[in-house]
Amino acid sequence: MASEKVVELTQDNFEEEVINSDIPVLVDFWAEWCGPCRMVSPVIDQLAEEYDGKVKVGKLNVDKYGNVAAEYQIMSIPSVFLFKDGKVVDKKIGARQKSEYKEMIDSQL
């Protein structure tokens, strides 16, 4: 079950929720059929709870919103990008440990 703190990103709200955000945004690019994405999902949910108020956490389904994924040249999933001030400041490709995502976030706070 997804955390209610995780924002479902779409092509319609991506700019508002990510690019124009006044706090860093962690974006999980994923798809339903992706096994490693399902492994990472609970970790992303935990991060949303732990960093609530400091970092916004969102998930973007690459099958539904391929144009957004293409814009960020997503070639493999899961891809977890960290945006700050509307720009990508860090990214991790493939399933990673929670500690790696935390390091990525902490370096921008």
Catalytic residues: 34, 37
> Strand, coil or helix: what is 35?
helix
Which uninterrupted H or E stretch holds 63? none
Beta-bridged to residue 109, according to DSSP, are none
What does the alpha-carbon distance between residue 86 and residue 15 come to, in Å, rounded to a whole number? 8
Output the six-digit token pair for 80. 């977890």
- Could you say which DSSP state residue 16 is in? I
What does the alpha-carbon distance between residue 68 and residue 85 come to, in Å, rounded to a whole number? 18
What does the alpha-carbon distance between residue 71 and residue 103 come to, in Å, rounded to a whole number? 25
